Structures are given as structure tokens and as C-alpha cells.
């Protein structure tokens, strides 16, 4: 797998991010996160991946897209 895009990087997304990096499953990892608190945690913990500002930016550059958001948020992404 070349590039992976993770949408939502809370508890589940960040754990997945670490596993992907540890197992070297992707050349690049893109992250889309709306929560400023989570973005600060990602940066503070120096987690791998590049934070993108739009869904389009992450999706167009990725081979696999993984949603790690609460079920209540899914509707917002498909509108």
C-alpha cells in the first residue's frame, strides 16, 4: 500500500496510525482531523503522518481511506 488516509484521529485513529507506521504498511499517511485538541496531541506526540486541511487533499492522494469517526459524523462526510 502506498498512501493511507485516516479521517478522524482520536483514540481509534491514533492507534491505527501507530500500527500502520510500526508495520510499515504505507509510504505516506494523511490525517484529517477537525478537533484542534486532537491536532495538538498528534503534534505533541510526534505521531507519523501529514495533517491535511481538506478531505479532497487527503482522498486524491491516497490508495485507502479509513473512517475513524463516530457514527453520528458519517452523514456530514457524505452530504
**Which residues fall within 8 angstroms of residue 73, CB to CB, at 6 or more apart?**
8
Q: Is residue 62 predicted with pLDDT exceeding 80?
A: yes
pTM equals: 0.85
pLDDT at 71: 73
Q: Is residue 79 predicted with pLDDT exceeding 60?
A: no
**In contact, 36 and 12? CB cutoff 8 Å:** no
Model confidence over 1-57: pLDDT tens digits?
699 999 999 889 999 999 999 999 999 999 999 999 999 999 998 888 999 999 999
3-70 is a CATH 3.40.50.720 domain: yes
- Which of these, 64, 60, 77, 61, lies nearest to 16 by C-alpha position? 64
Q: Is residue 74 predicted with pLDDT exceeding 80?
A: no
Domain ranges of the chain: 3-70
Amino acid at each position: 500500500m502506498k498512501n493511507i488516509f485516516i479521517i478522524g484521529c482520536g483514540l481509534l485513529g491514533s492507534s491505527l496510525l501507530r500500527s500502520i507506521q510500526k508495520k510499515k504498511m504505507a509510504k505516506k499517511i494523511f490525517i484529517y482531523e477537525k478537533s484542534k485538541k486532537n491536532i495538538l496531541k498528534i503534534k505533541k506526540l510526534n505521531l507519523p503522518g501529514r495533517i491535511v486541511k481538506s478531505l479532497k487533499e487527503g482522498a486524491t492522494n491516497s490508495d485507502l481511506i479509513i473512517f475513524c469517526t463516530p457514527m453520528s459524523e458519517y452523514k456530514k462526510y457524505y452530504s
